[in-house]
Each structure stands twice: as structure tokens, then as C-alpha cells.
A and B are shown apart, each in its own frame.
Chain A
Amino acid sequence: MKIVVTVKLVPDANTEKRIDPATKRLVRAGVETVLNPFDEYAIEAALQLKERLAAAPGSAEPATVTVFSMAPESAREVLRKALAMGADDAVLLCDAGLQGSDVWATAYAVAAALKKVGFDLVVTGGLADDGNTGGVPGALAEYLGVPGLTNARAIEVADGKLKVQRETDTGYQVVTGPMPALVSVTMAIGEPRYASLKGIMGAKKKTITTISLAELGLDRAVGSDGAKTEVRELAAPPVRGKGRVVEASDGAQGAQVIFDYLKEKKLV
């Protein structure tokens, strides 16, 4: 069984970011590129599934986990982290013509690449930490022509069938489906593991294959030429005003002040 995890590389959320007022683009200098944190959960889900399948009695062929990313060549080092966590190999879709792709163009190009790579199950994160659209998994399932099961908190595979717990506002649904399929996961799937030091030392020996746009033979334009949406402007969030500090002689009096305030705002 071949599991493919799609990952995105994003600017590290822990560093302060600036927007260049001239270009309206994020200043990338000094901002480290990291694995999209939500995709680390997708990797964890795939690795857990692989381990469970390996441990299951009478399991036929071992599952493999391939990490896939559409990113510049410089992404290799970040992909190594996924390999160090335990993925078996990686595929990089890398082409200058992909620059400026939006949700549609990304899904269209990635779907073509994934068909080329081959898969039984595609696992994705719920959304990317930078763009926050959350639109790619659904669009990807559509272009792959496979069922798309979103917001999974648990994934099971038995007898070639998929059983997924889908998180909802009030609980979860149990959904089954055939494979091949695409599943996007939530953070409830389990904390991503640390890359083991042995894994780090072994990651260099694993292969990262590169695919270019020409190899996909797409019949529609991708990149900024094919994008159906355009980012017109980026702006920093407005600076929040100072919070109000309540000073009180004792807890009861302080609580009363806060209660009165909430009541005035019709919040209680």
C-alpha cells in the first residue's frame, strides 16, 4: 500500500514577519522555511497507519510513505525532516512555471503529479499555516477523481477499505470508503513525533525525486498565468489597543467590575 503525504513549506510562524510596502509581499529574508505544522500531523497519521499495518497479523505487503511537495529546489532540506521522521522517500514537484499558483492551479498541477507518482491513499494536512485557505485537499480529491474525506481524527484501513472518523462540531462521524482516496487530517490525529537521531542520520540515504512541469504534460496553464485568483494586497493585522486593567481591593469587588462591564457590552 502506497501512502503519499502532501506537504507545504511555509515561513516559520514563530518569527516576526514584515510586508514589503512596495511589492506588498512577505519579506522572506531572515524568515526560515519550515514544514507546514498541520502537515506534520498528516505525516504522523501516515506513519502511524504504516506501523499499524506492519503490526497487523497477516498483513500482505508493507505500506510505504512518500512525502510530496510542490516547492522550489531549496525545499530539499525541509523534506529531509519528513524523511527523518520516518517517511521512506520524497518527491519534489519543482518548476519556475509553478510560481504564483493559487488553490486551483496548485490542485491541478499536484493532482497530475500524484497520478504520475501513484498512490493508494493521499494524506494531507487540513490547511496551510501561511495561506489559510484550506481549499487544496478538496480540489485535489476532485482532480484525482477519488473520494475526499476531510477533517479526519482517525484513519483505519482494513480489507482494502478505508474507515475514517470525521471530526464535526459536536462529535465525529464514522465514514467508510473505497481506496484510492484522499484524507485530510486534524490535529486530533496525534502529536507529530520528533525525528529520531537515527532517522536524521539515515535521511540522507533516502531518495528525493524531482518532477518538472514538462513531465506532467498539463493542458491548462498553471502558475500565475493559470491562477484564477490573485492576491492584491497583504496587510499586517491592526495593532490591538491596550487591554483594560481592573484594579480592585479584593476579588469580589474586581469580579463585580468585570461583570458590570460584560453586562454593559451585553456579553452576559
Chain B
Amino acid sequence: MNFDLTDEQRAIQATVAEFARERVAPRAEEMDRNEAFPYDLVAEMADLGLMGLPFPEEYGGAGADTVSYALAIMELARVDASTAITMAAHVSLGASPFYLFGSEEQKRRYLVPLAQGRMLWGFGLTEPGAGSDAGNTQTKAELRDGKWIVNGTKAFITNSGTELTGGTTITAATGTRSDGKPEITNLIVPQDTVGFTRSKKYRKMGWRASDTRELAFADAEIPAENVLGRRGDGLRNFLTILDGGRISVAALSVGLAMGAYDEALKYARERRAFGKPIGKFQAIQFKLVDMLVEIEHAKLMTLKAAWEKDGGRDYAQTASLAKLYAAEVSRRVVNEAVQIHGGYGFMDEYPVSRMYRDQKVNEIGEGTNEMQRLLIARMIGL
């Protein structure tokens, strides 16, 4: 048993923490208020190597491991959840499918610019009528004259409509399997495909500086070779991607909780009531200690899932446990952080109020808390 980070992991954590503190934190409130996607920060993150952090150098990545990736997400989410989800969705949802299932040619063509951060990419699984029920994909694709003709709609797709977005990989029903269920395949849909349109950005409660849109396909034509992975493997492949994505959201949740705790601790030292800092009162002390206990616990679970993934172990269960627990911890911690701030916590200019809004989706994205419980129940044989 060894809890030490390697020199590289520590250095990456320190560098991202410094970047987050100096470059991202001062902008977080304004970006949230204006729902402004930070192109300049994304360019800086690309220069740093964050956008391709876990991919091998030969594909334009930084060649770091999943533990480093989780630490980087935590440090970004600690100051701004929007920036963290932009990076996390890019790496684990946009780029990973190409890395895991792409042909060599597809890796060269798509993964390299994605890992270099020169291009962003969407991951189109969820539909207006198929969220947790992801197998119920209504988007259909038909092979006609050497082309896929795609029809349908995708919902809540991150990074799908920025100026840097090159396209989206989607799940589409491409036929019927021998058991009567739909055959689901992953298709690569470039942004300039005729018949493929993006809605305006959703107006969201949180993650407001991230780019989230609805996608519509109306007889959208894409080349026959734009299949990612094997035909018919689409759902299974995307569910594999979601296993990794759970580490992302767990790390996002831990980071957000850390940030809320930082703010609450600072406030408890500064704010005075009845002649002394409120941190001198047990009611506030106990809240902060309870927050710290839960954060440490969630952080250890998240890093364990990342460590298992790095070791080539089966990490799906730990990732689900970590995601479920960390998401709930982020809710409890941010709620108490607002409570410690009292009335000021309800005001926009205090970061905890933004964190409170940013938190909620941690319990929804990449599998709701309820789906997480269901999945884990299946894993333990119930």
C-alpha cells in the first residue's frame, strides 16, 4: 500500500493548481454570468497539454496517467466547474472514443488534433427521449448508395457547437439484431455535414460557461467509412467510455467540494460574529470538519478508481462508487459552504453561490445517482 504520488503526478497537480488559481479563478464569475465560452483559456490549456493529458505523445498527448488526469480535473473544478467540464468532456468523451476504438487512420485524423487541443469534439449519446435509457436510441442511420443517411436528435451535448468543434460522434440505430433489438453503431459526424445542425447554447443552471447544445440530423449524409469501432458495437463502446467518464465526474465533484471547502474555511476565519471569527464556534468547526472528512473519502475513492484504470484492472465498480459518492458529497459540502456564508452565500459575488448551482449536475451527468445505484446493485449480484 502506498499513497504517495509520483514526482510527475505531483508536478502536474501543482502546475494545474497554479494555472487554475492564476488564470481561471479570476475569470470564473464573469464567465458564468455571461455564459461565455473561454476560447483563450482553452488555447492556454492546449499549450499546457491539458487537452490531451492522458493520450500517448505519438498521438499529440502528454502521455500522463489517469491519476494525473483526475488530479488535474480536481484542481480546475476547485476554481471553476465550467472550465473543468470543458476539459473533462473533451478528453474523456470527445477524444477517448477515437483513442479506444479508432483505426490508425482515424486516430491520426481526429485524435491528434483533439489531443493537441486544436479541435474539440462532441459525444452524442443522450437524446431528448433517451437519457438513462440510452439503449432506446431513436436516431437512425441507413446505408444508402455508399453513404449513411442520419435522422434524429441528440440532447445535452457538451463542446458540440464551439468555433473549435470539428464534429460529434453519435450512437445511431443502424438496423436490427438477430435478437430483435436495435443494432447500434457509432458514427463520426463532421461539423460541416449537410443536414446536421446545432441549436443555440442551452441556458443552464450551472456549468454556464461550457458549451452544451441540442443536435439535429435531417437526412444528414456522411461517408460510409465514418464508422467508429465495429458496426453494432456502438452502445457497448459508449458505455465503456462512460465508465471512464465517471472518474471525470467524480473528480469534478471532489474538486468542486474542495473549492467550496476552501471558501468556507477562509470565510470562517474572516467573518466575525459576537466578537470573534465564526470559525471559533463549534457549530461552524464541526461543519468544516465533516466537510473535510467527506472530501478526503471521496478523493481517495476517485484516485483509487483512476489507479485501477492505470493498472489495467477492472475499475467500473470503483468508478461508479466514487462517482455516486463524490456527487453526493459535493452537494452536502457546497450546501454547508453556503450555510457557513449565511446571507452572503446567497449573493452572486461569492463563489459558493456559483458552486451551489454548478454542483447539481454532478448528480445527473454520466449516470444519475439512481442509475449509479442500480448499476452497482447489478455489479454486486442483485
Q: Which residues of A pack against B, CB within 8 Å? A: 77, 80-81, 84, 194-201, 203-204
- Least distance between B163 CB and chain A CB atoms (Å): 24
A203 vs B11: C-alpha distance when bound (angstroms): 10
Residues from chain B with Cβ under 8 Å of A80 in the complex: 7, 11
Question: Would you give 28 A-B contacts (Cβ < 8 Å), ordered by A?
Answer: A80-B11, A81-B11, A84-B11, A84-B15, A194-B15, A194-B18, A194-B19, A194-B48, A195-B11, A195-B15, A196-B47, A196-B48, A196-B49, A197-B12, A197-B48, A197-B49, A197-B50, A197-B62, A198-B62, A198-B63, A199-B49, A200-B8, A200-B12, A200-B62, A200-B64, A201-B62, A201-B63, A201-B64
Chain B interface, >50% SS class: helix
Total interface residues on B, CB under 8 Å, equals 17
Residues from chain A with Cβ under 8 Å of B8 in the complex: 200-201, 203-204
Beyond A196-B47, A197-B53, A200-B12, 17 extra complex contacts between A and B, CB < 8 Å = A80-B7, A80-B11, A84-B11, A194-B19, A195-B15, A196-B48, A197-B12, A197-B15, A197-B49, A197-B62, A198-B49, A198-B62, A200-B15, A201-B62, A201-B64, A203-B8, A203-B11
> Which B residues, 55 to 95, have Cβ-Cβ distances below 8 Å to chain A?
57, 62-64, 68
- Least distance between A14 CB and chain B CB atoms (Å): 11
- Least distance between A77 CB and chain B CB atoms (Å): 6
Residues from chain A with Cβ under 8 Å of B15 in the complex: 84, 194-195, 197, 200
Chain A interface, >50% SS class: helix
Q: Which residue of B lies closest to A195 (CB)?
A: B15
In order of increasing CB-CB distance, the 6 nearest A-B pairs are A197-B49, A197-B62, A200-B11, A198-B62, A196-B49, A198-B49
Residues from chain B with Cβ under 8 Å of A194 in the complex: 15, 18-19, 48
Q: Which residue of A lies closest to B53 (CB)?
A: A197
A196 vs B50: C-alpha distance when bound (angstroms): 8
A264 vs B102: C-alpha distance when bound (angstroms): 77
- Least distance between A164 CB and chain B CB atoms (Å): 28
- Least distance between B82 CB and chain A CB atoms (Å): 20
A201 vs B50: C-alpha distance when bound (angstroms): 12
- Least distance between B113 CB and chain A CB atoms (Å): 16
